[in-house]
Structure 1
Amino acid sequence: MEPSPTIQKERFTRGSLAGLLAGILATLIMLLLSLTIGGVSLPEALGSAIAQALPLPLFDYLHQTLGGDAKHYLFYIVLVGQCLVFALFGGLCNLLVDRLNFGQWRDQQGDLDYSVGLLLAFILWLFTGLIFLPLTGSGVFGSQLSTGVMSTMLSLAITGVVYGVLFIFMHNWLLWRTLKAVANPDMDAELLTKQAQRRAFLRNGVVFVGLSALGVAAWRFIVGNAGSGAVANPQIQNSLLDKYQAKITPPPVPNYGELHTVKGLSPEITSNSSFYGVSKNLSSDPTVDGTSWKLTIDGQVEHPFTMSYKELTAIPTHQQYETLMCISNEVGGEYMSNALWEGITLKDLLQKAGAIKPGATKVVLYAADNYSDSIHLSKALEPTTMVAVKMNGETLPSAHGYPARLLVPGIYGMKHVKWINRIEVVNTDYKGYWQQNGWSDPAPVKMTSRIDTPIFGAKLSANKPTYIAGVAFSGNKGIGQVDVSTDGGKNWQKATLKRPLSAITWVLWEIPWQPQAGNHDILVRAIDLQGNVQTPQLAAPLPDGSSGYHTITVTAN
């Protein structure tokens, strides 16, 4: 006899609640396995697939609105979605046990046998490995993931068993509470009240999370647009464009000098902990075991080979100061840092593989997190293109690419591949992870300059001496001059430059200033050693880097 609609509804509701509670715990186990044994993270796999599938205009909008945190919001949304899917599976399972005549798996009181949970775990394991992961581009049982098939199968099995067992436990516990309330009429009304309160709490919680997410997005949008950035005043912008001269001849002679200790100015060398970090990963970056790590160099070379970390670090190294900047950096943004790096030139490593075959055009870098990108062969053979193993005198931190990462001056940070495990010389026009999403492939750094101090909206003392200071960077072309305007671009003053640590680092600059009472629009622009002038033309980061003059407004009283 088929259960009545009321009983079916009760069973679906109970199964869904049990599935949700078990799913939350199983999800935590999945994330723990991902961090400890390198197991698969389904939210990571799905989130990455969604990010790659987003239309470019939508991707650009989300990036500009939420900044670098957009991928974290996406991860949390997918994480919540996974828990809801677990709830749905629980509700359907509690219905199908009866519809498929599996009545022997439910006793007279309605308790489910634990064999149901194990069967559910097996079904979820097969569904995830054979259908879900392939749909995300991860391959059958994660064959295309860095975790590997065996690790994926094991972590999915553990997660599934945890979910199945907890689902049965939660279901039977909820059923026991219901039967206990029915047996004691005095408790029935109390139970119904508590159930209604729980449903209201969950509903209000979902609404709160949703409104909070919208609030954060709105706040980031307002702050991001009302804070620092490129010139937004149309009158000032039009004047800058009308007067813009792309190149000056002869190139400027740098005005080097000693800088004062200005509070708020970026340190010349960024500490490892403060160095910016960006990756494609939504939740966690890979943790690579250096003792088992191997670096393979192959492709269009005469003698492909593989080497261990010990063999790599035994090769004589050299040091270079270099500044990195992310292509997603907004005008005046913080995704730019400078460090002392130590490693082996990529040219030397390629030479160990023998002659490069005719027709080779690019070098592809593969990473432990399935990230990949490419650089032109000519760029790979430049003396400053390096496979780095140390950063600021320390072993390369995990967050910055341990055991080894690429450094390729003059182009944006997405090409500076971290966690490298393979270098392949190819004769094709290989497109990397971000290029498939529409970002620039050549990705040359656009000249930029930033005001570090004072900050946007600062209140200054009128007629009291102070300093305006910041940094400027042009990739591998050097900085010859930095100009600062305190009147919206009408007049410009040359800043004093600190002699850079190398030709591929940023330059620190400052000017003394004694502001008059009132509001002041402060702008900065840079000129490289070849005489090229930073463009005032406004551009968003997508697809080939932002541009425009960093501008702040301050008030002197």
Structure 2
Amino acid sequence: MLGGVRSRTYGAIAGITAAAAAIGVAEAVAILTGAATAPLVAVGGVVVDAVPAGVKNFAVDVFYTYDKLALLVGTLLLLAAFAAVTGALATKRRLYGYAGVGIFAAVGIAAALSRHNAPWYAFLPTLVGAMAAAGVLYLTLRPQPAESGYTYEQRRWFLRVAGGTLAGAAVVGFASRWWATRRGVQAERAAVQVPAAGDSASALPPQADAQLPDLAPFVTPNKDFYLIDTALVVPQVSPADWTLRIHGRVERELTISYDELLKRPMIERYITLACVSNEVGGGLIGNARWQGVRVKDLLAEARPKAGADQVVSRSVDGFTAGTPTSVLLDDRDAMLAIAMNGEPLPIEHGFPVRMVVPGLYGYVSATKWLAELELTSFADFDAYWIKRGWAAKAPIKTQSRIDTPRDGGEPKAGPLVIAGVAWAQHRGVSKVEVQVDEGEWQRAELLAVPSVDTWRQWRLNWTATPGKHRLTVRATDNGGQTQTDAVAPPDPDGATGWHSIEIDVR
């Protein structure tokens, strides 16, 4: 056997092995207590809430929709580094190792208990995981080597224990996370019968979709719709347990169950949603056919009091978005959506109920896994992203994008179709123009749309000549405002500028 190893390398391996055991065991316990109570998720959630907006923007820019995966991987790497140092120190004095385990436990437990609506037993995964880590440290560091160092048999025994523990922890951890996801609400979602909408969406005009290669389809399939939120694990909300509470500055508080919501009059609309983090020419935007209950009708029943100029939508995981009450009471089709493209909301898109508000960026309107609507004021409450420096009111800006040809492409000389999408939700797009190199702006053909709340495809026929060319696009909304060429980042209220690409015609 290998005992109180004096080699820092072996001690570091022992520490990493103990940390892996802690995470694997904690994930297994979290099957029973909920995925959000796992220490990696809980600590990651605290990090997401605490980091400045600039860091979040950087993560989205670099990792795109994999930003949360990158955070979890980064957290694992930091934990591994901490565990390695702890294990190395433990070869000098075993108390250092147990102190490191104690720090792990304290941080994980504090993080788990601090999460929104955390159950009292949220500490259990971290506690049991820490006990497993302490046991692994004791096992791998317990006997002392001879004066001449550890023997071949001791090294072999150590590596066998460490390798087996690491492999077992990986299997248990991944299997537990998979099982926790599998035992979620997929079956309950599959059982939902989406009621017919009394006010269905207008039929799509025949020429709404040019169906060109590389051009985004007019309707974004659910599987391709962008995903940006703050949830490290997707909340699993049972329709049987779901309720919506409408409260705050209202004359009449309301509590509505999922079954009651499904019995209310439904509308169905094509609406384009966009993320404020979308860079010029970016893909954090999508168009879908949504079905749900008008927010306006629910607020009319609750009767907002004077001065209640903000509706705070709150998710089951504590995320908040603040929407102007006036916007939810005007003529737009803001809804509590229960279906997306003809099927119950995908779980990752907010099942069973989410907010959809035409014309506003998602961070002030599109709350997923909705639990509450609270009437308050902008003077009294700052929602999640407003506390981090983003603008409180965020109408979507007029934007356009070239989808085909692709940036850096090498099309053949001759007839070429330049095409893309443009959007100015709840105002509509009236004109799209394309510039080739430094030439005159050419007006593109606009394809039909069912309403002003969706993006609009456009195309321009061009005879491509050999050589390198720069293509630029700009759009004008129905109010006559042309998209600005002033370049601005997404922070604090949406990116601006014209989208340009470069191609080399052969």
Deviations along 1:171-193, one digit per CA (max 9) or x if unpaired, are 34xx48x5699686xx38x959x
TM-fit CA distance, 1:152: 1.1
The answer as to whether partners of 1:39 and 1:155 remain within 8 angstroms in 2 is no
Q: Which range moves more in the overlay, 380-389 or 336-345? A: 380-389
Residue 18, structure 1, aligned to residue 28, structure 2? no
The answer as to whether partners of 1:38 and 1:151 remain within 8 angstroms in 2 is no
The equivalent residue for 2:311 is 363
The answer as to whether partners of 2:208 and 2:449 remain within 8 angstroms in 1 is no
2:126 corresponds, among 140, 153, 156, to 156
Deviations along 1:302-338, one digit per CA (max 9) or x if unpaired, are 2223222222222121101100111000111011100
Residue 279, structure 1, aligned to residue 279, structure 2? no
The equivalent residue for 2:498 is 549
Deviations along 1:506-552, one digit per CA (max 9) or x if unpaired, are 00111111111111111111111111111111111111111111111
The equivalent residue for 2:216 is 266
What is the alpha-carbon distance in structure 2 between the residues aligned to residue 258 and residue 337 of structure 1? Answer: 15
TM-fit CA distance, 1:264: 1.4
What is the alpha-carbon distance in structure 2 between the residues aligned to residue 364 and residue 308 of structure 1? Answer: 19
1:461 corresponds, among 391, 396, 412, to 412
What is the alpha-carbon distance in structure 1 between the residues aligned to residue 103 and residue 18 of structure 2? Answer: 16
TM-fit CA distance, 1:9: 7.4
The answer as to whether partners of 1:328 and 1:545 remain within 8 angstroms in 2 is yes
Q: Which range moves more in the overlay, 341-350 or 155-164? A: 155-164
The answer as to whether partners of 2:22 and 2:126 remain within 8 angstroms in 1 is no
The equivalent residue for 1:245 is none
Residue 420, structure 1, aligned to residue 355, structure 2? no
Q: Indicate the SS of the match to 2:69.
A: helix
Residue 343, structure 1, aligned to residue 292, structure 2? yes
2:37 corresponds, among 30, 36, 40, to 40
TM-fit CA distance, 1:19: 2.8
2:385 corresponds, among 416, 431, 434, to 434
What is the alpha-carbon distance in structure 2 between the residues aligned to residue 370 and residue 378 of structure 1? Answer: 24
TM-fit CA distance, 1:43: 3.6
TM-fit CA distance, 1:86: 3.9
The answer as to whether partners of 1:122 and 1:160 remain within 8 angstroms in 2 is yes
Matched ranges for 1:29-428 at <5 A? 29-31=25-27, 34=30, 37-55=34-52, 60-61=57-58, 63-88=60-85, 125=105, 128-129=108-109, 132-133=110-111, 142-146=113-117, 148-172=118-142, 175=143, 187=152, 191=155, 260-281=210-231, 283-353=232-302, 355-383=303-331, 384-414=333-363, 415-428=365-378
What is the alpha-carbon distance in structure 2 between the residues aligned to residue 24 and residue 264 of structure 1? Answer: 43
Q: Indicate the SS of the match to 1:163.
A: helix
What is the alpha-carbon distance in structure 1 between the residues aligned to residue 394 and residue 453 of structure 2? Answer: 16
Deviations along 1:97-131, one digit per CA (max 9) or x if unpaired, are 679xxxxxxxxxxxxxxxx98x99788545643xx
Cα distance 1:330–1:427, how it changes in 2: closer, same or farther (>3 A)?
A: closer
Q: Which range moves more in the overlay, 43-52 or 374-383? A: 43-52
Deviations along 1:62-112, one digit per CA (max 9) or x if unpaired, are 55455444443333222222233344555666766679xxxxxxxxxxxxx
Point out where structure 2 has 5 or more consecutive residues left out of the alignment.
163-205
The answer as to whether partners of 1:181 and 1:191 remain within 8 angstroms in 2 is no
The answer as to whether partners of 1:121 and 1:157 remain within 8 angstroms in 2 is no
What is the alpha-carbon distance in structure 2 between the residues aligned to residue 492 and residue 12 of structure 1? Answer: 68
The equivalent residue for 1:224 is none
What is the alpha-carbon distance in structure 1 between the residues aligned to residue 208 and residue 390 of structure 2? Answer: 39
Question: How many residues align structurally?
Answer: 455
TM (norm. structure 2) is 0.80
Deviations along 1:384-415, one digit per CA (max 9) or x if unpaired, are 11110000000011111111111111111222
Q: Indicate the SS of the match to 2:6.
A: helix
TM-fit CA distance, 1:157: 2.7
What is the alpha-carbon distance in structure 2 between the residues aligned to residue 400 and residue 423 of structure 1? Answer: 18
Amino acid at match of 1:18: A
What is the alpha-carbon distance in structure 2 between the residues aligned to residue 323 and residue 151 of structure 1? Answer: 41
What is the alpha-carbon distance in structure 2 between the residues aligned to residue 442 and residue 543 of structure 1? Answer: 10
Paired-residue identity, %? 30
What is the alpha-carbon distance in structure 1 between the residues aligned to residue 456 and residue 481 of structure 2? Answer: 16
Q: Indicate the SS of the match to 2:481.
A: coil
The answer as to whether partners of 2:25 and 2:125 remain within 8 angstroms in 1 is no
Amino acid at match of 2:330: E
Greater Cα radius of gyration, structure 1 or 2: 1
What is the alpha-carbon distance in structure 1 between the residues aligned to residue 107 and residue 500 of structure 2? Answer: 53
Amino acid at match of 1:515: A
The answer as to whether partners of 2:23 and 2:39 remain within 8 angstroms in 1 is no
Point out where structure 1 has 5 or more consecutive residues left out of the alignment.
1-6, 100-115, 134-140, 199-255
Q: What CA RMSD, in Å, does the superposition of the two structures yield over aligned residues? A: 3.3
Cα distance 1:262–1:125, how it changes in 2: closer, same or farther (>3 A)?
A: closer
TM-fit CA distance, 1:8: 8.0
Amino acid at match of 1:504: D
Cα distance 1:143–1:85, how it changes in 2: closer, same or farther (>3 A)?
A: same
Q: Indicate the SS of the match to 2:18.
A: helix
Cα distance 1:407–1:56, how it changes in 2: closer, same or farther (>3 A)?
A: closer
Cα distance 1:474–1:127, how it changes in 2: closer, same or farther (>3 A)?
A: closer
Q: Indicate the SS of the match to 1:514.
A: strand
The equivalent residue for 2:473 is 524
TM (norm. structure 1) is 0.73
What is the alpha-carbon distance in structure 1 between the residues aligned to residue 383 and residue 57 of structure 2? Answer: 18
1:538 corresponds, among 484, 487, 494, to 487
The answer as to whether partners of 2:6 and 2:91 remain within 8 angstroms in 1 is no
What is the alpha-carbon distance in structure 2 between the residues aligned to residue 511 and residue 120 of structure 1? Answer: 64
The answer as to whether partners of 1:456 and 1:552 remain within 8 angstroms in 2 is yes
